[in-house]
Chains A and B, each alone.
Chain A
Amino acid sequence: MSSTRTAYWRGFRDGAPFVLVVVPFGMLFGVAGTEAGLNIAEVMAMTSLVIAGASQFAALALMQENAPVLIILATALAVNLRMAMYSASLAPHLGPAPLWQRAVAAYFIVDQSYAISVSRFEAEPDMPVREKVGYFFGCMSPVCLPWYFATWAGAVLGAAIPPAFALDFAVPVTFLAIIAPALRTLAHVAAAAVSVTVALALAFLPYNLWLLIAAVAAMMTGARVELWLRARGRWT
C-alpha cells in the first residue's frame, strides 16, 4: 500500500468518530429546511454547495423572515468567515500541492476536517505533502459524505412530520445548541451578550440591518475583551 493511501486511511480513522455528530446535525437541517418550505432539490443543493451547517441554518432563518437577498448572504457568509482562518492555517501544509488538489480540498474545509488535520500536521510537520493531502481527504470523507445522506434522510422525514410538532422552533433551538458550547471564554460570552442586546434594541431597523450592526459590535467586543484578558494574563 502506498504511503499516500496509508495516510488517507489514517485520516479516515481519525475523522470517523465525527459521524456521530454529523449525521444527526445533517438530518436536523433536512427537517428544518423542508419545514421552512424548501423542496428536496433546494435542500440538497444548499447542503451540497455550502456544506457549512451553521450558515445554512442562518440563511434558512432569514429566508423564513423574507429578508432581502443581500442581507441573507452577508449574514450567512459572516458566519463562514472563520473558514478564512482555517484556509490560512492549512495553507503552509497544503500550499505546495497541485492547484486542482487544493481547489478540491478547499470545498471540503469544514470545522471537523480542519480541526483534525491541522493538529496532525502541526504534530508531524515533516509529513510529505502527498501524505498531508491524503490525510486531509481521509479526515473529510467520514465527515462530509454522511452529511449529504443525512440531510436527504432528514428532508424526506421532515416532509412527513405533522405541523403539531412545532418544528418552526427547531431552527432557534439548534442555534442555541450550537452556540452554548462555543461560549468558552469571557470574551465569547461578552460577544454573544452584545450581539443579543444590540439586535433586540435595534430590531425596529428595516432590512434586518440590526443583525449586521449587532454582529460587528459583538465581534469588536469579543476582540476587546480578549485583549483585556490577555493584558491581565488570564487568556488561555
Chain B
Amino acid sequence: MTMDAATIWLVILGLGAGTYLIRFSFIGIIGDRKLPEWVLRHLRYTPVAVMPGLIAPLVLWPTATGGQTDPARLAAAAATLGLGLLTKNVIAAVLGGMGTLYLVQYALGG
C-alpha cells in the first residue's frame, strides 16, 4: 500500500474510537431502551450488505494481476464460497480456497 504512516494511524484510531462508541452506545449512554423494529431489521443485514460488495471487484479485478480477471482467483473464490456454505466453517473455507488458488495456479503453469 502507498498510504503514509500518518494516514494509516488516522484510520486505526478513527476505527477504534468509532467502534468503541457503537459498542458503548446503549450500555453506556442511551441505556435500557428498545431499538425500533425497523432499525433492527436493517442492522441485521449490515455485514451481508457491506462485505459482498466490497470483495466482488477484488475477486473479478484483482490488484495483484493489474486488474486482469484471473481464472485461479475466480476458482479460489468459488471454492471458498462453496466450502463456506457447505461446512459453515470459516477456517476450512479459507484453507480450501487458498489451496484451490495454488492448485489452479500450478495447473496453469502460473
Contacts and interface: CB of A to CB of B under 8 A. Distances in A.
Interface of A: 21, 24-25, 28, 36-38, 42, 45-46, 49-52, 54-56, 58-59, 61-66, 69, 72-73, 75-88, 90-92, 94-95, 99, 102-103, 105-107, 109, 165-166, 168-183, 187-188, 191-196, 198-200, 203, 210-211, 214-223, 226-227
A188 B20 contact: no
A192 B90 contact: no
16 contacts: A38-B1, A42-B12, A51-B19, A66-B2, A82-B44, A87-B24, A173-B93, A179-B51, A180-B93, A181-B90, A182-B47, A191-B49, A218-B52, A219-B46, A222-B42, A222-B49
A106 B22 CA distance: 9
Interface string B1-39: 111010111111111111110111111101111110010
A91 B32 contact: yes
A176 B80 contact: yes
Given A24-B91, A55-B15, A73-B18, A82 B52 contact: no
B12 to A, nearest CB: 5
Nearest to A60: B1
Contact of A166 (B5, B50, B64, B77): B64
Contacts of A182: 47-48
Helix, strand, loop or mixed for chain B's interface?
A: helix
A126 to B, nearest CB: 17
Contacts of B94: 24, 28, 170, 173-174, 177
B77 A172 contact: yes
Interface of B: 1-3, 5, 7-20, 22-28, 30-35, 38, 40-60, 62-64, 73, 76-77, 80-81, 83-85, 88-91, 93-94, 97-98, 101-102, 105
Contacts of A66: 1-3
B25 A58 contact: no
Contacts of A85: 35, 40, 43-44
B80 A168 contact: no
A101 to B, nearest CB: 10
A169 B73 contact: yes
Contact of B57 (A63, A176, A203, A216): A203
Given A95-B32, A196-B56, A222-B48, A49 B12 contact: yes
Given A102-B28, A168-B62, A180-B84, 15 more contacts: A24-B94, A25-B90, A45-B12, A46-B12, A49-B19, A73-B18, A94-B27, A95-B27, A95-B31, A103-B28, A166-B64, A166-B102, A176-B93, A214-B53, A223-B42
